[in-house]
A and B are shown apart, each in its own frame.
Chain A
Amino acid sequence: MGWESWIIDTLKRALAYGTPLLWGTLGEIYAERAGVVNLGVEGMMILGALSAFAVAQSTGNPWLGILAASVVGGFAALIHAFFSVTLRANQYVSGLALTIFGLGLSGLLGTSWVGISLKNPLPKATIPGLERIPILGEALFRDHSYLTYIGIVLAVVLWFVLYKTRWGIAIRSVGESPSTADAMGIDVFAVQYLCVIFGGILAGVAGGFLSVEYRPAWTEGMTAGMGWIVIALTIFAAWDPLQAVGGVVLFGALYHLAYRLQAWFPPEFLKLMPYAFAILVLAVAGLRKVKRGAPASLGVPYVRGQR
């Protein structure tokens, strides 16, 4: 195999594996930019995966499945927003509770869907014109899921909104200094609620991608820790939607390269690679001193009239 097809293959697989990570990470970036850590990504994703599969299988329309996943993810995030923003509960614990709850509930409700393969998975698409670019065209613009293309476009849009619009300023100032934002007339609670729910919608879609496209079936615990990798990637991307694309592709490529080693290593080692990479990626972020880019009030509940 020539090096060209090797690059094409790696990029292609990296994007496919990275798509749910990208959606999840973009959502978490917005929640954290507004100052709310949501460790419930894994729970929101798995609930999204189950609802997407159930709806796609019952209606025969995978897009309705994705829609259902986004609604369910949004509602799950609403629970977290209520506890962490309104009740000012510990955000870490609230997120963990959401993950435990989501994994449990999806396991409980999903029993009747186990072992069925989806009739109509999400279709793939090729972008005419762009696919003709040598190497890159074939790797990036041919036979990918619609959600992959939308995810990348979304990353650019979300970057633009975050850095170039008034909304973005509002979100970032809420995450940096909620009291200042409040004094500027920004409704801190509304911004936090919206960002957390938006994050949940994206996490739901990420889960839906897994069950109606990546592996079109429902298996219990099928997110397999991807929600946690999302949180690692959020830090690695320094809370920047464009860097998230880079982080996700890098992560996907590492995963795929590990997969290439299967002739030499036992399968269990390949399966633990993504988790080891997640730690590695954070260690690299630590060396790069990414933490300086963290929203200053991340994880701190806002109490009006204090400080």
Chain B
Amino acid sequence: MKRLGPFVFERRLAPTRTAILGYSLLAILAALVVMSFIFWAYGVSPIKAYTVIGRTTLGSRFGLMEILRRTIPLLLCGVGLVIAFRAKFWNIGAEGQLLAGAVAATWVALFSGVSGPVKLPLMFVFGFAAGALWGIIPALLKVKLQVNDVISTLMMNYIMAYFVKWLIYGPWRGPTMRGFAYTDLFPRDAWLPLIRYSKVHWPTLLVGLVAAMLVALILSRTRLGYEIRVVGDSPDAAHYAGISFLGVSLWVMLLSGGLAGLAGVGEVAGIHHRLLEPDHVSLGYGYTAIIVAWLARGSPLAAIITSLLFGLIFAAGDEIKVTLQMPFQITGVFNGLILFFLIGVEVLLYWKVGLVRKGKGWVGKAGS
């Protein structure tokens, strides 16, 4: 127990749900406050900025649909990263795994010769497989050769991005695209259906929601989920319990990469209908999903909420660009700030704050 002015701080072992929610909101609020200063320094009134953002995103059907459209890839990548982070596997490679899924889907759509109603499901299957493959490589490298997972997953983002560039400038460049670096447009049977007057490809959204629920079940009810949690919480205990580190890592990255791959399928089959420049296929969804997953604190269901929040931020970024003529990078600044404040308030989570009362004895130190 510590005293600071009229407040007492008491350590607690596990934070309550209310505390987590409250402090997460506090972090977002703090980021919004700092953002106001950035708007102000940029010569834009913060009040005006937030009003514009609120009106154009939450205040119209179009805005809400834009949020949903951005939410889809963030949800799929985010749920995947929740699994990885639960096992303390630092998968920073969702961006590359997403692109791998997009590449596989493009192959099915344009070059496989498959057509008809089986085509779209097949694109999802191949997309999942490609993302999973791109995820499994770093898992093998980590377990077999102790290659740092942050670096390997990150480097593989760059490798996949250049691979996509090579495809669209080289062998897959569409002959009908008059020299632009795109593939040809997908045939209609490879287009995902949209919610009317929007770009929301609802089948992918559905896949994302189902994935969140399935992953929640896997983590809480299955042997694999149990092993993932043990490996994440205490690798030593996992070792003595005879849990295969290789097996768990492979499963984790298979699921994590596979889900990101599905997000890639959704982007090309639902929105672009062709493969194009990697930073147009994904606006950094794989990176932002890291924050989505971190904010969700290991809960796949919470990732549904947090991905909506960052969907909102992406939609807001578009509006800021158009209405206030500020660069889209402002979303990066905001995302970085949120992440900082989130880990900042994390410290608070393990302390209970109260007012000083007389006659209260010492509370034993709860350890960390």
Task: Judge whether B155 and A228 touch: CB under 8 Å.
Answer: yes
Please tell me which stretch of A86-94, A200-208, A252-260 contacts chain B, meaning at least 4 of its Cβ atoms lie within 8 angstroms of it: A86-94
Q: From B343, which residue of chain A is reached at the shortest CB distance? A: A89
Interface residues of B in 299-343 (CB under 8 A from A): 326-327, 329-337, 339-340, 342-343
Q: Which of B196-221 contact A (CB under 8 A)?
A: none
Which of B90, B329, B337, B347 has most A Cβ within 10 Å?
Answer: B329
Residues of chain A within 8 A of B332, CB atoms compared: 100-101, 103-105, 107-108
Q: Do A97 and B343 contact each other (CB < 8 Å), given the known contacts A105-B333, A107-B327?
A: yes
Interface string of A281-303 (1 = CB under 8 A from B): 01101110001000000000001
| In the complex, residue of chain B having the shortest beta-carbon distance to the beta carbon of A289 | B146
A71 within 8 A of B: no
Residues B162 and A272 in contact, CB atoms below 8 Å apart = yes
What does DSSP make chain B's interface, helix, strand, loop or mixed? helix
Asked whether, in the complex, the Cβ of B368 is within 8 Å of the Cβ of A268, the reply is no
Give chain A residues whose Cβ lies under 8 Å from the Cβ of B326.
108
CB-CB contacts of A70-88 with B at 8 A, as 1s and 0s?
Answer: 0000000001000100011
CB contacts (< 8 Å) of A228 on chain B: these are 151, 154-155
Contact B151 A88 (CB under 8 A): no
Set of chain B residues within 8 Å of A286, measured between Cβ atoms? 141, 144-147
Known: A101-B340, A107-B332, A108-B326. A268 touches B169 (CB 8 A): yes
Alpha-carbon distance between A92 and B90 when the two chains are bound, in angstroms: 9
Q: Are A279 and B170 in contact (CB under 8 A)?
A: no
Q: Does A231 reach chain B (CB closer than 8 Å)? A: yes
CB-based contact B156/A100 at 8 Å: no
| Contacts A83-B344, A225-B154, A279-B147 given; does A96 touch B330 at CB 8 Å | no
A268 near B340 with CB under 8 A, answer no
Of A87, A100, A272, the residue contacting B339 (CB under 8 A) is: A100
Q: Give the chain A neighbours of B124 by CB distance below 8 A.
A: none
B162 & A269 in contact (Cβ 8 Å cutoff): yes
Among A90, A94, A268, the residue within 8 A (CB) of B163 is A268
Give the interface SS of chain A, mostly helix, strand, loop or mixed.
helix
Q: Would you call B150 and A92 a contact (CB within 8 A)?
A: yes
Min C-beta distance of A89 to chain B, whole Å: 4
Q: Which of A1-44 contact B (CB under 8 A)?
A: 39, 43
B162 touches A271 (CB 8 A): yes
* Contact-size category for B: 35 or more
* Interface check A275, CB cutoff 8 A: yes
Q: What separation, in Å, do the CA atoms of A100 and B286 have in the docked complex?
A: 12
CB < 8 Å: which of A88, A104, A275, A282 contacts B347?
A88
Closest chain A CB from B134 CB (angstroms): 13
Neighbour of A108 across the interface among B148, B327, B343, CB < 8 A? B327
B residues near A102, Cβ cutoff 8 Å: 336
CB-CB nearest in chain A for B147: A282
- A93 near B339: Cβ-Cβ < 8 Å: yes
Contact A225 B158 (CB under 8 A): yes
A122 on the B face (CB < 8 A) = no
> Residue on B with the closest CB to A101?
B336
B58-95 interface with A by 8 A CB criterion: 90, 92
A-B contact count (CB 8 A): 144
- Cβ of B249 < 8 Å from any Cβ of A? no
Interface centre among A220, A268, A283, A285 (most CB of B within 10 A): A268
| Given A83-B340, A92-B150, A306-B368: A104 in contact with B162 (beta carbons within 8 A) | no
**Given A92-B150, A108-B330, A283-B141: A97 and B340 within 8 A (CB)?**
yes
Which residues in A have their C-beta under 8 angstroms from that of B339? 93, 96-97, 100-101
Instruction: Tell whether B166 is near chain A: CB-to-CB under 8 Å.
Output: yes
Contact B162 A111 (CB under 8 A): no
Q: Is A235 close to B, CB under 8 A? A: yes
Q: Which B residues touch A285, using CB under 8 A?
A: 146-147
A268 surroundings in chain B (CB, below 8 A): 162-163, 165-166, 169-170
Whose C-beta in chain A lies nearest to the C-beta of B42? A108
Residues on B with C-beta less than 8 A from A291 are 146
B186 near A: Cβ within 8 Å?
A: no
B152 adjacent to A104 (CB under 8 Å):
no
**Neighbour of A90 across the interface among B151, B154, B330, B343, CB < 8 A:** B343
**A272-B163 contact in complex given A282-B147, A286-B146, C-beta closer than 8 Å:** yes
Of B152, B155, B290, most buried by chain A (CB within 10 Å of CB) is B155
B123-150 to A contact mask, C-beta < 8 Å, 1/0: 0000000000000000001001111101
- How close is B98's CB to chain A, nearest CB, in angstroms? 17
Q: Is the CB of B333 within 8 A of A39?
A: no
How far, in Å, is A175 (CB) from chain B's closest CB?
17
Q: Is A197 in contact with chain B by the CB < 8 A criterion?
A: no
Could you tell me the distance in whole angstroms from the C-beta of A289 to the nearest C-beta in chain B? 8
Given contacts A90-B343, A272-B163, contact A101 B152 (CB under 8 A): no
B122 to chain A, nearest CB (A): 27
Query: Which of A's residues lie within 8 Å of B, judged by CB?
Result: 39, 43, 79, 83, 87-90, 92-94, 96-108, 111, 220, 224-225, 228, 231-232, 235, 266, 268-269, 271-272, 275-276, 278-279, 282-283, 285-287, 291, 303, 306
Residue pairs across A and B with Cβ atoms less than 8 A apart, 18 shown, are A83-B343, A96-B290, A97-B340, A100-B336, A100-B339, A101-B337, A103-B329, A105-B336, A232-B151, A268-B165, A268-B170, A275-B158, A276-B155, A282-B151, A283-B141, A283-B145, A285-B146, A306-B367
